[in-house]
Amino acid sequence: MPDFIVVPALFWVTFLLIAGGVALVRARNVLQRVVALDLLAIIVIALLALLCYLRGQPFYFDAAVALALLSFVSTVAAARYLDQGGPFG
Amino acid sequence: MISIVLEVVGGLLLLIGLVLLTISVLGVLRLPTVLGQLHAQGLATGPGIICILASSIATEDIRIITFAALAIVFVALTSPVSSHAIARTAHRRRTARKAQESAEDKTTES
Amino acid sequence: MGKQGGILGPVVRIVVLTAIYLMVLTSIDPADILVGVLLATALVLAGRNVGIIRTRSQTPLPRRLAGVPALIGGTLIDLVTGTWKTARWLIRREVAKSDLVEVPIPPHGGPQSAAAWGVRVGFVPDTVVVEIDEEKGRMLLHVIDATDPDAVVAEQLDTYRRRQRRVFP
């Protein structure tokens, strides 16, 4: 993919990351914070994918898949914790 | 020839994905309730990230494309589950709070 | 499961598991394929002995596999229309009343069918699955436009009939 597409896209995704951070700070309760954190994880996955296109190396995708796994597990654990007072209860 | 077509398709997919991510972030910033925010977040975790990962066909590198396909399948299977977990917790907390409030109303009335 | 399904089922599982193994490794070296097939066979046999993998469906496996393209393609169509609706709702700030709607799901499907319902419906951004109960056969959805709950229920049951029933009845 040509650089003149990927580099502006990288800048834009970084800007979205900052906007997601604002959403995290402005959240009014715990569940809204969980939603914003999940969104931030997705934006970072997009950032890693774009870096992978820029450098042409597939190793960044390892990190992206691992991050998706971590964010899934942590979101489900946090939601269950807030629901019943224990991640496995 | 094929590589030009692939680049155009990849660029379009990337553009659609970025637009969807932007709308999603704006929605999460603006909506007041958790359940409403989950709709906005679903826009990024579902179609948005899939479009961005699918634009990897423009790289024409088989290793990158297989990894992107794996990531797409993984995200598609896990994102409904995590959004369901948040939605269930939000719903239960809301019903519990309403029950508590109505119980308090009854005690103050009597 | 039918007579052909008895042989075909494990073979399909082995092929899928091997494909996942090879995608993680990103190589099609013959030695890697051999190791992947051996690992997948061991996993499928172990799963059969322990009884983790169970199919309770009466439909023969070839017919269920034939329904898979319709399931994936139909879900993609739902995804596009749902994305369009949600994006328009977020941009225009239409005051559509978003609310909870209860959808009855067929109770005889078992856990597999309920899981398929949940993933298929929850994947589309304009519906969020709030509660799903396969024993009572009901699903609580949060939809964007809940002005007409009966239309939402009819639409969900229609998509189930067209996309999911052949694969996960």
Residue of C130, C131, C134, C139 for testing the chain B interface, max B β-carbons within 10 Å: C130
Q: Please indicate, yes or no, whether residues C24 and C99 belong to a single structural domain of this protein.
A: no
Is A89 inside any structural domain? no
Q: Determine the longest span between alpha carbons in chain C, in angstroms.
A: 60
A18-22, A78-82, B97-101, C57-61: least confidently modelled range: C57-61
Q: Please indicate, yes or no, whether residues C23 and C94 belong to a single structural domain of this protein.
A: no
Q: How many domains does chain C divide into?
A: 2
The DSSP letter of residue C135 is T
Give per-residue pLDDT as tens, C89-116.
Answer: 888 866 667 788 888 887 776 777 888 8
Residues whose CB falls within 8 Å of the CB of residue C5, separated by 6 or more in sequence, listed in order: C60, C61, C62
Series of mean pLDDT values for 10-residue runs along chain B (110 residues):
87 92 91 88 91 88 84 88 90 86 78
Among residues C45, C61, C77, which one ends one of the domains? C61
- Residue A69: give the domain boundaries: 3-84
Q: Please indicate, yes or no, whether residues C51 and C128 belong to a single structural domain of this protein.
A: no
pLDDT surpassing 90 at residue C20: no
> What mean pLDDT value characterizes chain C?
79
Among residues C61, C83, C109, which one ends one of the domains? C61
Give me the helices (H) in A1-89, please.
3-26, 30-55, 59-84
Q: Which of residues 26-85 of B touch C (CB under 8 A)?
A: 26-27, 30, 35-36, 38-40, 42-43, 46-47, 62-63, 66-67, 69-70, 76-77, 79-81, 83-84
Q: How confident is the model at residue A85, as a pLDDT? A: 62
- Strand C138-143: give its sheet, edge to edge: C99-104, C138-143, C127-133
Q: Please indicate, yes or no, whether residues C10 and C86 belong to a single structural domain of this protein.
A: no
Nearest to C98 by CA among B89, B47, B33: B33
Q: Please indicate, yes or no, whether residues C76 and C157 belong to a single structural domain of this protein.
A: yes
Residue numbers in C near B46 (CB within 8 A): 79, 83, 123-125
Q: How many domains does chain A divide into?
A: 1
Q: Please indicate, yes or no, whether residues C73 and C113 belong to a single structural domain of this protein.
A: yes
Residues whose CB falls within 8 Å of the CB of residue C158, separated by 6 or more in sequence, listed in order: none
Half-sphere exposure of C73 (CA within 13 A, CB side): 6
Q: What's the CATH number where A32 sits?
A: 1.10.287
Is C130 inside any structural domain? yes
Residue numbers in A near B10 (CB within 8 A): 1
Q: Please indicate, yes or no, whether residues C148 and C83 belong to a single structural domain of this protein.
A: yes
Is C169 inside any structural domain? no
**In terms of residues, how long is chain B?**
110
Q: Per the structure block, which two tokens stand in for A45? A: 């996955």
pLDDT surpassing 70 at residue A47: yes
A9-13, C52-56, C60-64, C159-163: least confidently modelled range: C52-56
Among residues C18, C39, C61, which one ends one of the domains? C61
Is A19 inside any structural domain? yes
Residue of A38, A51, A55, A76 for testing the chain B interface, max B β-carbons within 10 Å: A38
Q: Please indicate, yes or no, whether residues C17 and C87 belong to a single structural domain of this protein.
A: no
CA pair distance C135, C151, nearest whole angstrom? 24
Q: Are B80 and C98 within 8 A, CB to CB?
A: no
Q: Are B55 and A64 within 8 A, CB to CB?
A: no
Q: Please indicate, yes or no, whether residues C94 and C109 belong to a single structural domain of this protein.
A: yes
Q: Per the structure block, which two tokens stand in for C104? A: 């009855």
Q: How confident is the model at residue B24, as a pLDDT? A: 93
Is A46 inside any structural domain? yes
Q: Are C23 and B26 within 8 A, CB to CB?
A: no
Q: How confident is the model at residue A15, as a pLDDT? A: 94
Q: Please indicate, yes or no, whether residues C28 and C53 belong to a single structural domain of this protein.
A: yes
Q: Please indicate, yes or no, whether residues C93 and C156 belong to a single structural domain of this protein.
A: yes
Q: Please indicate, yes or no, whether residues C80 and C48 belong to a single structural domain of this protein.
A: no
Tell me the pLDDT band of A17, cut-offs 50, 70 and 90.
very high
Q: Is B54 on the interface with A (CB under 8 A)?
A: no
- Residue C50: give the domain boundaries: 3-61
pLDDT surpassing 90 at residue A28: no
